[in-house]
Amino acid sequence: MPDVNFIQEILLIGAAIFLSFTVFICLMRAALGPRFSDRIIAASMTGTQIILLISVLAVTVGEDYLADICLIYAVISFLSIVVLGRSVIEKKEGNEL
């Protein structure tokens, strides 16, 4: 019977590699996106994927403090997307911040 911990570590490393690849793709979309709204969505997706990557790292390494870092990053990511969205709305209405 195969070792469950070994299989779990292989799956978590595979998930980390896949998430790293998708973060790179989303960063490319954020840099190249034709519209500003595409860039905001790509930045939001990148933040979500980095949160997942930190969570996978926390499970792989077994450190509890990484979950706290993950939550802090989630709040910062959310606030940055709200500020970017507000700037788009202000720009669309013609008002300057």
* pLDDT at position 20: 94
How confident is the model over 4-32, as pLDDT tens digits? Answer: 888 988 999 999 999 999 999 999 998 98
Burial class (CB in 10 A: 0-12, 13-18, 19+), 19: buried
The pLDDT of residue 18: 95
Report the half-sphere exposure of 33 (CA within 13 A, side-chain side). Answer: 15
pTM above 0.75, yes or no: yes
pLDDT of 53 over the 70 cut:
yes
pLDDT single digits (tens) 60-92: 888 889 999 999 999 999 999 999 888 888 888
